[in-house]
Amino acid sequence: MKTIKRNILLNPGPSTTTDTVKYAQVVPDICPREKEFGGLMRGLREDLVRIVHGDPEAYTAVLFCGSGTLNIDVCLNSLLPEGKKVLVVNNGAYSARAVEICEYYGLPHIDLRFAADERPDLEKVEQVLKENPDIALVHTTHNETGTGILNPVREIGALAHRYGAVFTVDTTSTYAMRPIHIREDNIDFCMASAQKGLMAMTGLSFVVGNRRLLEASKDYPKRSYYCNLYLQYDYFERTGEMHFTPPVQTIYAALQALKEYWAEGEEAKWERHTRVFEAIHAGLAELGFRDIIKREWQAGLVVSVLYPDDPNWDFEKVHDYCYERGFTIYPGKISQMDTFRLCALGAIDEPDIRDFFAVFREALEENQIAVPVVYQKEER
């Protein structure tokens, strides 16, 4: 097996993958309607439920061909009964995306907004639920990847359930990294795509959710032909196949990634991501950078860093210097603040972060940016 140039991706996905996962895609051609391939997908779906500790009788996984946003689209358009409303608990870019999806489908919804650097106020969430008994679906984001803030999904889910609503959570940037217990966390449907926590390839996305609630959605309005959760689930249950052509090679990569996931183990993997996250913080602190989310609120996977107040600071130039040397850094996603992000996803470990900071420091020096970096305002 030839080794492939190893890039360290510090962007919030797709993530750095192992060569064994990359090469798992190189397989003999196969028609995905063959029984052999159906068997692979059955095992894959079961594993995806196991990752969030779901009881395989009560929970199921439904696969789709597409990127992670497709899951948000699918859950919102498929799980809302006629005449009911969605509540989006929104403190960042990914929940804002869910709001846009509601708008595009014309779904009645409430966009309950909180500041991007604050956790949602649970009392306000409860008040809205109390005042709007027609809310049937509550949606939020677990780790707001735009900032790295961790939302209290267990508490929001408990409120949703107390008021009779189904709870969908965008776990795209925590799934298979930060441990999730679907039932204990009061999640009815969570979601992810293969290129993030699983450290596999893009093109495969999946919703893991409560089978009873999924079956209850059978007669809900069908708002999309391709992206309907019940229709895809039902097709799987009857035939063991995806309704339309699955991303064949991506599925082979995901199967290899799952093998590697179980071999590493949930706990050890989370410890590794934590190690990487701590190393990112240590490297930033040494250079004087500030992050924007309170440390105890961070999900442990994304660090949002404030641009320094240096006339020579130029994100693009720093990015390009690092990129040419195999390290990818990523812009932020908050409208009110200029930030960039360093993420702890993927098949990387502490030494990669040390190597990165050596290059990053060079990039700053090369661009005559003062080290340690300067900020005009006092730290908050």
Size of the site for ligand PLP (CB under 6 A): 12
CA–CA separation, 117 and 297 (whole Å): 9
- Residue 91 binds ligand PLP (CB under 6 A): no
Interface with ligand PLP (CB under 6 A), residue from 90, 91, 172, 304:
172
Residue 368 C-beta: closest distance to ligand PLP, Å: 34
Among 170, 241, 291, 352, binds ligand PLP (CB under 6 A): 170
Tell whether residue 175 is a contact of ligand PLP (CB under 6 A).
no
Tell me if 152 contacts ligand PLP by CB under 6 A: no
Amino acid identity for residue 367 in this structure:
N
Count the neighbouring beta carbons within 10 Å of the beta carbon of residue 27: 12
The one segment of 67-75, 118-126, 217-225, 369-377 that binds ligand PLP by CB under 6 A: 67-75
Among 140, 141, 186, 232, binds ligand PLP (CB under 6 A): 141
Among 18, 25, 67, 249, binds ligand PLP (CB under 6 A): 67
Q: CB of residue 218 vs ligand PLP: minimum separation in angstroms?
A: 26
Among 140, 173, 256, 339, binds ligand PLP (CB under 6 A): 173
Among 94, 236, 252, 360, binds ligand PLP (CB under 6 A): 94
What is the smallest separation between the CB atom of 239 and ligand PLP, expressed in angstroms? 27
Q: Give DSSP secondary structure letters for 184-253.
A: TTT-SEEEEETTSTT---TTEEEEEEEHHHHHHGGGS----SSS-HHHHHHHHHHHSS-SS---HHHHHH
Of 187, 361, 380, the residue nearest 283 (C-alpha):
361
The answer to whether 13 contacts ligand PLP (rule: CB under 6 A) is: yes
Scanning 65-73, 79-87, 223-231, 321-329 for contacts with ligand PLP by CB under 6 A, the matching segment is 65-73
DSSP β-bridge partners for residue 294: none
Tokens of 45: 């779906």
Q: Are 63 and 255 in contact (CB under 8 A)?
A: no
Strands 302-306 and 8-9: unpaired
For the chain, the first-to-last Cα distance in angstroms comes to: 51
Of the pair 170, 185, the CB lying nearest ligand PLP is at 170
Question: Of 8, 9, 10, 12, which one interacts with ligand PLP (CB under 6 A)?
Answer: 12
Candidate ranges 165-173, 175-183, 213-221, 363-371; the one touching ligand PLP (CB under 6 A)? 165-173
Site membership for ligand PLP, residue 197 (CB under 6 A): no
Token pair 């442990």 is found at: 300
Residue 134 CB, nearest distance to ligand PLP (Å)? Answer: 26
User: Considering only 63-71, 116-124, 335-343, 350-358, which stretch makes contact with ligand PLP by CB under 6 A?
Assistant: 63-71
Q: Which residues sit opposite 340 in a β-bridge?
A: 305, 331
Which residue is listed with tokens 């799987």?
236
Could you tell me how far CA 370 lies from the centroid of its own chain? 34
How many Cα atoms sit within 13 Å of 87 on the Cβ side? 28
Q: Which member of 15, 77, 193, 256 binds ligand PLP (CB under 6 A)? A: 193
Question: What DSSP line would sit under 257-300, residue for residue?
Answer: HHHHHHHH-HHHHHHHHHHHHHHHHHHHHHHT--BSS-GGGB-S
How far apart CA 235 and CA 147 sit, in angstroms, is 37
What is the smallest separation between the CB atom of 65 and ligand PLP, expressed in angstroms? 12
**Lookup result for tokens 């965008």:** 170
Residue 328 found at the interface with ligand PLP (CB under 6 A): no
Distance CA 94, CA 107 (A): 17
Q: Which stretch binds ligand PLP (CB under 6 A): 169-177, 236-244, 280-288, 364-372?
A: 169-177
Which of 11, 17, 60, 69 touches ligand PLP by CB under 6 A?
Answer: 69
The residues, ordered by sequence, that sit 6+ positions from 340 with a Cβ below 8 Å of its Cβ are 304, 305, 307, 315, 319, 329, 330, 331, 332
The verdict on 346 binding ligand PLP (CB under 6 A) reads: no
Residues that bind ligand PLP (CB under 6 A): 12-13, 67-69, 94, 141, 145, 170, 172-173, 193
